[in-house]
């Protein structure tokens, strides 16, 4: 664990130097990603701001859910760059051979060779939304609530990572530049809203098949309506552990199927 943490800090330091070598490019990336999130929030305000209530969920509660959803997503976006381009950049172009020559697990390298630090701007916006809506909802910060928030954010980011590692692993068997990620990535937006506004199939899909609901909705809902959603908060670490373990198994099996690029 100490070795991996040391390697991670070295990866982060080196990539930060590279990104800050072109400061304006980095600054523009931060502004672009932040504006995209702000526009997404503006859509929520325009759609639900007038209605004020959505299936018994008030507008401040919707903003709280949206703000919380930005936290695990921002952490995931920091390390997810190579997962999106894994098939094209690593398998089709042959860069994965270089990864296999190093004495460290290939998945560790894929996750941390590139880090998108500008994605942390979304976390700042998410925290601002939580701070603005929490007093309206009667939520007060205390050591227990802060610890739960941090644990939920980490579990949510790990859950996102596990799901997309499994999707990237599909490329070991079916190489294509686009892959299966885009349609699944679009499902993330559904987890930013109360799951009980959807039909039964969508709720099952986002809870147990592609559990984006556990990454965002259920932890925040457990804070807002503990009497109904507390059980899901207890299930969050179990679901996260199960999907993380499954992703590593699928990745390792995929690596055994890898046969380089050939001629």
More confident of the two residues 81 and 248: 248
According to the model, what pLDDT value does residue 215 have?
94
Give this prediction's pTM.
0.89
According to the model, what pLDDT value does residue 177 have?
64
According to the model, what pLDDT value does residue 176 have?
67
Each residue of 181-238: pLDDT tens digit? 888 888 888 888 899 889 989 999 999 999 999 999 999 999 999 889 989 989 999 9
Residues 6+ apart with CB under 8 A from 97: 260, 261
Each residue of 96-114: pLDDT tens digit? 998 998 889 999 999 998 8
132-141 mean pLDDT? 90
Where are the domains positioned within the chain? 2-257
How far is Cα 213 from Cα 219, in angstroms, rounded to an integer?
Answer: 9
How far is Cα 222 from Cα 18, in angstroms, rounded to an integer?
Answer: 41
According to the model, what pLDDT value does residue 118 have?
83
According to the model, what pLDDT value does residue 129 have?
93
How far is Cα 76 from Cα 161, in angstroms, rounded to an integer?
Answer: 6
Residue 178 has pLDDT above 80, yes or no: no
CA angle 197, 56, 141 (to 5 degrees): 105
Each residue of 51-69: pLDDT tens digit? 667 788 888 999 999 999 9
238 and 151 in contact (C-beta within 8 Å)? no
According to the model, what pLDDT value does residue 26 have?
67
The average confidence (pLDDT) of the chain is 87
How far is Cα 54 from Cα 81, in angstroms, rounded to an integer?
Answer: 34
């Amino acid at each position: 664990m100490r070795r991996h943490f040391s390697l991670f800090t070295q990866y982060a330091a080196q990539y930060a130097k590279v990104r800050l070598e072109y400061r304006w490019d980095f600054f523009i990336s931060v502004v672009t990603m932040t504006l995209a999130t702000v526009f997404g929030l503006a859509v929520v305000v325009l759609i639900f701001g007038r209605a004020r209530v959505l299936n018994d969920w008030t507008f401040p509660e919707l903003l709280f859910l949206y703000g919380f959803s930005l936290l695990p997503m921002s952490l995931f976006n920091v390390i997810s760059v190579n997962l999106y381009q894994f098939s094209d950049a690593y398998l089709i172009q042959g860069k994965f051979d270089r990864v296999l020559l190093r004495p460290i697990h290939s998945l560790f390298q894929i996750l941390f060779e590139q880090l998108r630090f500008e994605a942390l701007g979304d976390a700042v916006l998410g925290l601002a939304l939580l701070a603005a809506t929490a007093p309206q909802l009667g939520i007060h910060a205390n050591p227990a609530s802060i610890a739960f928030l941090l644990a939920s954010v980490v579990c949510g980011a790990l859950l996102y990572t596990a799901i997309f590692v499994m999707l990237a692993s599909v490329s070991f068997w079916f190489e294509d530049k686009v892959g299966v990620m885009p349609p699944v990535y679009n499902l993330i937006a559904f987890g930013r809203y109360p799951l009980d506004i959807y039909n039964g199939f969508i709720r099952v899909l986002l809870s147990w098949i592609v559990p984006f609901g556990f990454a965002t909705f259920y932890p925040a809902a457990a804070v807002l309506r503990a009497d109904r959603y507390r059980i899901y908060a207890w299930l969050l670490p179990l679901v996260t552990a199960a999907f993380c373990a499954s992703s590593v198994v699928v990745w390792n099996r995929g690596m055994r199927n890898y046969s380089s690029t050939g001629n």
